Structure 1
Amino acid sequence: MKRAKPYLTRNMSWSPREEPPTVVIVSYLLLIIALFVTVTIAEAESETASTSHDDALLLLRFKQFHVSSDPRGFLSDWLPHAPSPCAWRGVTCSPEPRRVTAIDLAGADLSGTLHLPTLTSLPSLSTLLLRGNSFSAFNLSVSPFCSLQTLDLSLNNFSGKFPFANLTPCNRLAYLNLSNNLITAGLGPGPGSGLSLAQLDLSRNLVSDVNLLVSALASSALVYLNFSDNRLAGQLSGSLVSRSANLSTLDLSYNLLSGSVPPQLVNDAVRVLDFSFNNFSRLDFASCGSLTRLSFSRNALSGDEFPRGLSSCDMLEVLDLSRNEFVAEIPGEILRSLRSLKSLFLDRNKFSGEIPSELGSLCGSLVELDLSENKLSGELPLSFVNCSSLRSLNLARNYLSGNFLVSVVSKLQSLEYLNAAFNNLTGQVPLSLVNLKRLRVLDLSSNRLNGNVPSFFCPSELEKLILAGNYFSGTVPSQLGDCKNLRTVDFSFNSLNGSIPWEVWALPNLSDLIMWANNLTGEIPEGICVKGGNLETLILNNNFISGSIPKSIANCTNMIWVSLASNRLTGTIPSGIGKLNALAILQLGNNSLSGRIPPEIGKCGKLIWLDLNSNNLTGNIPFELADQAGLVIPGKVSGKQFAFVRNEGGTSCRGAGGLVEFEDIRTERLEGFPMVHSCPLTRIYSGWTVYTFSSNGSMIYLDLSYNLLSGTIPGNMGGMAYLQVLNLGHNRLSGNIPDSFGGLKAIGVLDLSHNSLNGSIPGSLESLSFLSDLDVSNNNLTGSIPSGGQLTTFPASRYENNSGLCGLPLPSCSALKNRSVGVGGWKKKQPVAAGVVIGLLCFLLFALGLVLALYRVRKSQRKEEIREKYIESLPTSGSSSWKLSIFPEPLSINVATFEKPLRKLTFAHLLEATNGFSAESLIGSGGFGEVYKAKLKDGCVVAIKKLIHVTGQGDREFMAEMETIGKIKHRNLVQLLGYCKVGEERLLVYEFMKWGSLEAVLHERAKGGGSNLDWGARKKIAIGSARGLAFLHHSCIPHIIHRDMKSSNILLDENFEARVSDFGMARLVNALDTHLTVSTLAGTPGYVPPEYYQSFRCTAKGDVYSYGVILLELLSGRRPIDSSEFGDDNNLVGWSKKLYKEKRINEILDPDLIVQTSGESELFQYLRIAFECLDERPYRRPTMIQVMAMFKELQVDTDNDTLDSFSLRDSVIDEA
């Protein structure tokens, strides 16, 4: 019997090939889920592709319709066929879904119009960075769905009023940067209405609407607010207050704000406050408990207006009150409470008295202290010994004295930078300074320190050791070789002796070795620069160094300035110098060098100054010297302070002069320069070098005089178009003067004297318009002196001892031929000639007796006493010496006058009116001489200019020039009333100008002696000086180029009418006084047009450039050159153009000019004219007639200065 199957099995039987029922159900469910997921993913992918495609379309639309220029191809991969914009340059997307979240086109140099609706339609876009492009506004509305959080539109071309209200839909916008544009105000509600900005940057715009600032401060979420470098002017309302409890940073620097800072503007949340470069006169706080940084530099805080509220700012870390007008003592009782202070800047004020001991209480935190350029005296208080954290201490240019280096400074263990230059420190450098293990820079120059240079002093970190301009003696310590990080060693202008130790030469990082004007001996070792060419400046002139110049100098591949002049060097000049591609200045004069001049020197591509005078060099002048390229001066030389000491000439003083580096030397001590003792000097110039060429040029100074050079002068020298000084005198040169010398268009000094040159003077020299000193005497020249150009204006002494030379200024060529008359002919005429001579002598004796008799009758004893008194006092009563010894009776010499009331004026009258040209009568000095105020007996006040002694000009030329200048009359020119010559002295009598020079009035306010010129006065001066210069350029016959237009040559009469002075003066001085000034060119640094560094041809357009600088001075209130003001630019023009390019226009303007709404455009119109005059391309500059026309178009100040009256016939040239 079979067993029965179970129930389940029986009723639910299934074969092995069949699925169980439960599994089937599950499978069905899984299949449905799988189908659902597949469909969902497909739909998501489709949606993602669709949304990415939408974002791409919006971006492509922006590129196509709103980007007009893409010079760098930044958007080159923004292409229609690209699968996704997320890979495009500048685009960032979210992970999933792939939507555009950020666009970064910063610095792409794109141009076009900004259409914000397009970009803000990207629904996920939170960051839009367009900084550094050239977009202008097209449509600044935004999409209603704007999700922006960060918007940067800085450094673009947005101008006018900005519609902040348009951004209201961007309710998440927290960061808005509109800096570096041309925005002037807000359009509609400001940023404080409807926006919840945390950071707003409107710096470097043209905002003048204070209401925009008020609106911004009303934002309750604001943390950072920057309105710096705008045109906010006038006083801030006392009710101005920040409504944000979170405002941390407020920057209002570089505006025109004045008056007091509203105390309520600063609340407890503010940490950083920058009000620098305004004209605020008072600063106080209601609360400053959180303030950590306060910058109030270059304002008008003065006297006892020191902000007393600072005492409550106990969290302050940085305090900058530099460049104000404080005159009292430093208020130690206020500063002592600033226990958290790390940096304190009080430099460039007028603080007097002693440094308060209370500052020592800050030592727990103080890291940096700058008290330089004040009038502080005494010592550094002992309380500073606890300044264990102090790293930088600048005390330069004060009147400090005493022994604080020992008592205080030597205990400042953390000190890294110490500058105590230009003080009155005495004694020796203390041994205890060896404790300053971290010191990197030590500058004790121009004090009165003496003794030996400390041999022990070598902190391991020391990089610069500057002890110049003191009274150190002894030797240079060899232990300096242990200072392995030492880069600069400057011991110049001391009394050091012995040789420079090899250990110093071998310093591995040495770049500047400056020890000129000492008593150093020994030789320059052969192994210099063997281990590397780090040495850049080697200045050892005016010592007693002997031996030869080492050949290893060729290894100094970074060398820029080599000065070994006035030593006792022998041997030859190494040819390896030609490998120094960076060499700009090479001075080897006044030694005993022999041999030939290496032609390889011509390979020094940047050489501009070569002085080999007074050696024993032989052979020919290498023609390769003329092929030298004269590239741009290296930066090590550019901006370097130097002095040019000019020789007057004579047997004991050879060569044209010397170039010396004296950045760390007091100017008055330069008078004690060893070179001065043996050489009579005419002048000492000082200043800063400038970039000589913008492209390749040539050498500018070449002195090979007083050698034994022979052969002919290379003809290719005529191609040295930038050469200013060429001195080949006192050699053995032969042959002709090259006709190619007519190509020396820049030449000012040409000395070929004392050679064996023959032939005639080339007619091509007539074209040298810059030539002011020519000497071809003592040669074998023949023929007629060319009559054109300036050749006939030089004295006869410059042509003498050339037996065959004739013509002005020598006797005529016909007279020279008459010398061949026979001796017999002369004998026949001898009796007649003798009778004529005897008759003339008798007549002269009779006339002389009659004159003497009349003189005794008419002159009283009092007159004789006055004469004796003045003659005896002349050498000491004035500011400079007089040369009258060959004129025993100079008082009766008449003054040649151009005005009838002065017809009887004599030299005696001038002496009496100036008290013997005493120092009390001296009212100024300039490039052409000293000026004295003189009150004549009739009450008339005149100005007398005593010209510098000139050697390159004859009496005839002087009188001819004076007769020409004296006939020029114009209401905007200072009239020459008369002149006279007494001995070697030359005096000019001018109208007296009551208010002095524009330079003094405009720039001396900080010194308490100037007048505050308002804009009306400045306009009048600008127009008047332009009118005077236009007359010189266009109405005078011949036309006159001023050549030295500057603010000190614009004088102001009693009505503040501008008068141009010193026109025509440039031809009255020796060439070295016009061409080797501080800029090495005609003109004054800061005013010299750029083309003078290239073409060296004075033109009317050069005067226009100089006038543009003056106009810029009037608008900015700044001097043309001020390294502390302009930084690396070093000059007003470069600085202003840089600011203009960066759209920081308001920073150019003088803060003292209160800009009213109606006058804003006028200021910028004048600035536009200034920049047109300052165009680097002369042909693009306007003429002065066109400048006057532009002024007339502005129709300004017509009541006080009628422009309609200007014409070329508004003045007269007196023909009488």
Structure 2
Amino acid sequence: MGFGVFTSFLVLALFFRPFLCQPPNTDGFFVSDFLQKMGLSSSKVYNFSAAICSWQGVFCEKENVVGLVASGLGLSGLIPDNSIGKLKNLESLDLSNNKITGLPSDFWSLGSLKALNLSSNQISESLSSNIGNFGLLESLDLSSNIFSGIIPEAISSLLSLQVLKLDRNRFESNVPSGILNLHSLVSIDLSSNQLSGSLPDGFVAAFPKLKSLNLAGNGIRGRDSDFTGIKSMTYLNISRNLFQGSVISVFQEPLEVIDLSQNQFQGHISRVHFNSSFNWSHLVYLDLSENHLSGEIFSNLHDAHNLKHLNLAYNRFSQQAFPKISMLSGLEYLNLSETNLIGHILTEISEFASLRTLDLSKNHLNGQIPLLSIKKLQVLDVSNNNLSGDIPVSLLEKLPWMEKFNFSYNNLTLCASEFSPATLQTAFIGSLNSCPIAANPDLFRRKSPQHRGLKLALALAIALVCLLVGLLFLAFGCRRKTRMWAVKQNSYKEEQIISGPFSFQTDSTTWVADVKLATSVPVVIFEKPLLSFTFADLLSATSHFDRGTLLAEGRFGPVYRGFLPGGIHVAVKVLVHGSTMTDQEAARELEHLGRIKHPNLVPLTGYCLAGDQRIAIYDYMENGNLQNLLHDLPLGVQTTEDWSTDTWEEDDNDGIQNVGSEGLLTTWRFRHKIALGTARALAFLHHGCSPPIIHRDFKASSVYLDSNLEPRLSDFGLAKIFGSGLEDEIARGAPGYVPPEFLQLESGSQKTPTPKSDVFGFGVVLFELITGKKPVEDDYPDEKEANLVTWVRALVRKNQGTMAIDPKIHGTGLETQMEEALKIGYLCTADLPSKRPSMQQVVGLLKDIEPVLHQ
């Protein structure tokens, strides 16, 4: 009997041991209860039976817990009530780098907190106005969570706050005016959210102690005057927003880091020296890329001798020689891409021993590539210039150890045998192979004269037979290859059909160019105004708009491939649906579209007004469109807006050479590159054009790859040329790309497309890139009546996004980046347009997950 009672008591003691480790209603009890309920088990580090103040990460005063560091312990789920919310003396709490999803109601009673770090968790709720209870708080870090909604005005009560980090969340609306009360702030980071509107008046001047301000990756509007009154600030990053005004006003003491990239600043930066007392010697980092700056690159660069990072790419500078930068020998990053440079690359750049990145692409530089200090160089891009001569041998030997390099579209020479075909096709396009020919030593040995005459005769006979056979093959091959183009062009020239009207037929439409004399109708080519082309040249270039030159038939009309005189390779889009504009109005609109330039837009080369027909002429895109590449569609399955057949050229076996997704599109890096480039194109149309341009029909077949494998968006701005009938048709969109607000329209009602309509289409394309699936009529596991959007959004909501990732790109990059990209697509495809981010914000989000480049 006694033994049975003892056994029962022992079992009960073991059962209740976890709850007896710490006395109830003590700090030790609350902490241990919190850790256990969040998934942490007892260990040598956290021995729950030991005294609480002996635990790692626990700091006490008089047996009261005043500090708790539980970072990176794998804690997951919702923090329970009656746990850490009961630590009345807690002054410092660090729960960063876990998987916490929510906060308890008693959390806001921790009125003694001075430092709170909840960063890098998965907290998905709005920030409670009870944050104002933390009146003693000096440091608040909620970064890298999923907080949404507005930043509450109650933040104005945190009068002791010195550090505010709310970056990488989903906060929206305006920056609250209550923040102006926080005069003790030293650092503010609100980057990578969905903030909009303007900054409160006197924003910068309200913080006399502020040293660091980061507002990057939002949609905040403002002017240069918002940054007057800088007193202590050394770090300023307002990139990827909508700030305007003179760039000169932003250069103020004592700034050391300035990032104004991807805004709408204007002015001549060469005047900074004359209009301000800015001390260039303090500057360490300067990024002014993708603005509207003009004039010359400033001449007083030599004063910035401590500069490490300089990016002036993609502005509107006037044509100028390579800047004198000899005093910037400490540079580690230099990007002067598309800054209108001419002449030679200065040899003094060879003295830059710390240089890691050098981008001089898309300029008009000539001469040879100088010797570069290659010890630390990791990224080099000199593509799209007029450089010539041999690439330095020392540089070629360094390339295999570099992250990225590109020498394409120059007149450079190298020994191609040193590189793989894939590298030659991406990094040396247009380069000349000049490998030395090694002599065969056997040729110099004396041969025996025996049977020399017989051998010579036999060799001549064999050579003659081979020559005859080769000529026969060549004759048949040429005849076959050219029968469609050459014969038709010759027959056209013989007929000399130059009088109209002209009628042309495709499978779906017949269109007429009411032109009396083809040679009297001019063709305007923007970049070559001195060339005198006419409608007759278009007829010749397209073999009289023959079906054999037809690339596709889209919503706007048929697209033909052609070669204008001088070998200009073009895609000719006939806008057959008619237009409500007069010829003058249409010409003015097409001229406007021709002036819109961006590295990720298909450039409009020219146009022709042939009677009632408006004909748009584009650069020919050599590598097809995204839909065909991603879904492996051959020529016979072309969809709307396919301009290119380079991807599907006929070979000698009447086969189709489809590059498909078995090559480049099987890597996460390349798919991310397409997503980021396309996002930049839409962001430029929405935020960089005045008035903004809405695409109205964004889909995978609108995205092309140029000869440099850069993504380019087509058909922007064309909808305006047509009447409301076509605009309504375009607003309805392609299946799978139509935003919910258009699907829910009542009969007879109309809705105007907005930039958020384009954002939804981009989200669908982003899903396509990550999943490899079509928007509709594809295999969506576990979903019978779903489309791509509903399937992926359901997986993301259940934190099962990895199930949607295309198996072809598994293992080619970080899976966490792919999951983040799915979450970006989730934001873009929100049901309510107001919940979708702007494209400028999307660019910032995609840049945050950009894969590391390796060549």
- TM-score normalised by the chain length of structure 1: 0.39
Deviations 1:1066-1120 (A, max 9, x none): xxxxxxxxxxxxxxxxxx9857456659xx99954599877789999xxxxxxxx
Q: 1:81 to 1:190 in 2, by over 3 A?
A: closer
8 Å contact kept, 1:226–1:251:
yes
Partner of 2:243: 301
How many Å separate the matches in 1 of 2:718 and 2:515?
37
Deviations 1:771-829 (A, max 9, x none): xxxxxxxxxxxxxxxxxxxxxxxxxxxxxxxxxxxxxxxxxxxxxxxxxxxxxxxxxxx
SS in 2 for 1:413: coil
Deviations 1:668-717 (A, max 9, x none): xxxxxxxxxxx99999xxxxxxxxxxxxxxxxxxxxxxxxxxxxxxxxxx
Letter in 1 for 2:89: C
Q: Once structures 1 and 2 are overlaid, which stretch shifts more, 878-887 or 274-283?
A: 878-887
How many Å separate the matches in 1 of 2:618 and 2:394?
55
How many Å separate the matches in 2 of 1:61 and 1:1099?
54
- Cα RMSD after superposing both structures: 7.0
Q: How does 1:572-721 map to 2 (within 5 A)?
A: 651=474
Deviations 1:181-230 (A, max 9, x none): 4454455x633346311111233456566572x32233222111123344
Q: Does 1:1008 align with 2:689?
A: yes
Displacement of 1:252 in angstroms is 2.4
Partner of 1:177: 118
Displacement of 1:284 in angstroms is 1.9
Letter in 2 for 1:341: L
Q: 1:242 to 1:879 in 2, by over 3 A?
A: farther
Q: Does 1:246 align with 2:246?
A: no
Letter in 2 for 1:324: N
Q: Does 1:108 align with 2:73?
A: yes
8 Å contact kept, 1:513–1:539:
no
Which residue among 307, 320, 329 is the counterpart of 2:268?
A: 329
Letter in 2 for 1:409: I
Displacement of 1:327 in angstroms is 3.7
Partner of 1:200: 140
Structure 2 runs not aligned, ≥5 long: 1-18, 441-465, 467-472, 486-498, 503-512, 523-531, 554-573, 595-599, 623-636, 642-677, 701-712, 720-725, 737-763, 795-809, 839-855
How many Å separate the matches in 2 of 1:965 and 1:498?
38
How many Å separate the matches in 2 of 1:61 and 1:347?
52
8 Å contact kept, 2:313–2:338:
no
Displacement of 1:323 in angstroms is 0.6
- Structure with the bigger RCO (C-alpha within 8 Å, sep 6+) is 2
Q: Does 1:401 align with 2:370?
A: no
8 Å contact kept, 2:121–2:144:
yes
Letter in 1 for 2:433: N
Which residue among 172, 196, 199 is the counterpart of 1:257?
A: 196
Q: 1:1101 to 1:64 in 2, by over 3 A?
A: same
Q: Does 1:167 align with 2:106?
A: no
Letter in 2 for 1:301: F
How many Å separate the matches in 1 of 2:412 and 2:390?
6
Q: Does 1:346 align with 2:258?
A: no
How many Å separate the matches in 1 of 2:577 and 2:46?
90
Q: Does 1:274 align with 2:211?
A: no
Equivalent residue pairs, number: 603
8 Å contact kept, 1:252–1:274:
yes
Partner of 2:507: none
Q: 1:305 to 1:261 in 2, by over 3 A?
A: farther
How many Å separate the matches in 2 of 1:54 and 1:681?
94
Displacement of 1:489 in angstroms is 7.4
How many Å separate the matches in 2 of 1:492 and 1:438?
25
Partner of 1:1138: 820
Matched-pair identity in % = 20
Partner of 1:117: 82
Displacement of 1:1145 in angstroms is 9.7
How many Å separate the matches in 2 of 1:235 and 1:287?
21
Q: 1:945 to 1:1104 in 2, by over 3 A?
A: farther
Q: How does 1:1035-1184 map to 2 (within 5 A)?
A: 1053-1055=726-728, 1058-1060=731-733, 1088=768, 1092=772, 1099-1101=777-779, 1137-1138=819-820, 1148=827
How many Å separate the matches in 2 of 1:433 and 1:1007?
33
Displacement of 1:354 in angstroms is 1.4
Letter in 1 for 2:86: V
Deviations 1:1040-1088 (A, max 9, x none): xxxxxx996999634476244699xxxxxxxxxxxxxxxxxxxx98574
Partner of 1:543: 433
Q: 1:180 to 1:1145 in 2, by over 3 A?
A: farther
Which residue among 192, 217, 220 is the counterpart of 2:156?
A: 217
How many Å separate the matches in 2 of 1:1100 and 1:912?
32
Letter in 1 for 2:315: N
Q: 1:919 to 1:682 in 2, by over 3 A?
A: farther
Q: 1:173 to 1:260 in 2, by over 3 A?
A: closer
Q: Does 1:288 align with 2:226?
A: no
Q: 1:401 to 1:682 in 2, by over 3 A?
A: farther
Which residue among 543, 554, 578 is the counterpart of 1:883?
A: 543
Q: How does 1:723-802 map to 2 (within 5 A)?
A: none
Partner of 1:363: 304
8 Å contact kept, 1:516–1:543:
no
8 Å contact kept, 1:161–1:184:
no
Which residue among 149, 170, 193 is the counterpart of 2:92?
A: 149
Partner of 2:255: 316
Displacement of 1:349 in angstroms is 0.8
Letter in 1 for 2:541: S
How many Å separate the matches in 2 of 1:215 and 1:359?
45
Displacement of 1:335 in angstroms is 5.5
How many Å separate the matches in 2 of 1:217 and 1:653?
83
How many Å separate the matches in 1 of 2:293 and 2:602?
36
Displacement of 1:148 in angstroms is 4.0
SS in 2 for 1:375: coil
8 Å contact kept, 2:776–2:787:
no
Deviations 1:1110-1166 (A, max 9, x none): 999xxxxxxxxxxxxxxx9999x996841676xx999x569xx9x9xx9877999xx
Deviations 1:719-756 (A, max 9, x none): xxxxxxxxxxxxxxxxxxxxxxxxxxxxxxxxxxxxxx
Q: 1:328 to 1:466 in 2, by over 3 A?
A: closer
8 Å contact kept, 1:225–1:251:
yes
- TM-score normalised by the chain length of structure 2: 0.52
Deviations 1:567-603 (A, max 9, x none): x99xxxxxxxxxxxxxxxxxxxxxxxxxxxxxxxxxx
How many Å separate the matches in 1 of 2:58 and 2:107?
26
8 Å contact kept, 1:474–1:496:
yes
Letter in 1 for 2:234: T
How many Å separate the matches in 1 of 2:575 and 2:390?
54
8 Å contact kept, 1:322–1:348:
yes
Which residue among 339, 354, 372 is the counterpart of 2:313?
A: 372
Displacement of 1:274 in angstroms is 1.6
8 Å contact kept, 2:119–2:141:
yes
Deviations 1:358-413 (A, max 9, x none): 665x5265443221111112xxxxxxxxxxxxxxxxxxxxx5435x3xxx234543
SS in 1 for 2:541: coil
Q: How does 1:899-1048 map to 2 (within 5 A)?
A: 1004-1008=685-689, 1011=692
Partner of 1:866: 517
How many Å separate the matches in 1 of 2:142 and 2:539?
55
How many Å separate the matches in 2 of 1:346 and 1:352?
12
Deviations 1:919-960 (A, max 9, x none): 998999x999999999998x79999999999xxxxxxxxxxx
Partner of 2:844: none
How many Å separate the matches in 1 of 2:604 and 2:227?
51
Letter in 1 for 2:93: T
